[in-house]
Amino acid sequence: MNSSALVWTVIALALVAANLPFVSNRLFLVISLSGQKSLAWRLLELVLLYLLVGAAAVGLEHSIGRVASQGWEFYVVTGCLFLTLGFPGFVYRYLYKRS
């Protein structure tokens, strides 16, 4: 797989993972909670999924060559990108009025 396809794979994975906490009331789509899942649980899930996608991205980068070292700026930018990718799920869960 070439590097362009790997980049699009990571972006697609991040898009799906960023919206997962807002789609289901189950914790990590597995653990059933009594009642509604709070925003704090959803944000914790979002952070853990960010770390999981980051680990997958490092693994994919390792498969095509040497892993580049990154500074703190990289993690701030990718974290903000992950939050931006999760915005449609947030809108669906909290802002969309269902009739």
Taking only the tens place, the pLDDT of each residue in 7-39 is 899 999 999 999 999 988 888 888 887 888 888
| Average model confidence (pLDDT) across the chain | 90
Q: What angle do CA 53, 54, 55 make, to 5 degrees?
A: 90
pLDDT confidence of residue 29: 82
Give 86's DSSP letter.
T
Q: Where are the domains of the chain?
A: 3-95
CA atoms within 13 A on the CB side of 3: 7
Q: Which residue has the tokens 């919206």?
A: 19
Q: Which residue has the tokens 């999924």?
A: 49
**For the whole model, what pTM was predicted?**
0.88
What is the identity of the amino acid at 44? Answer: L
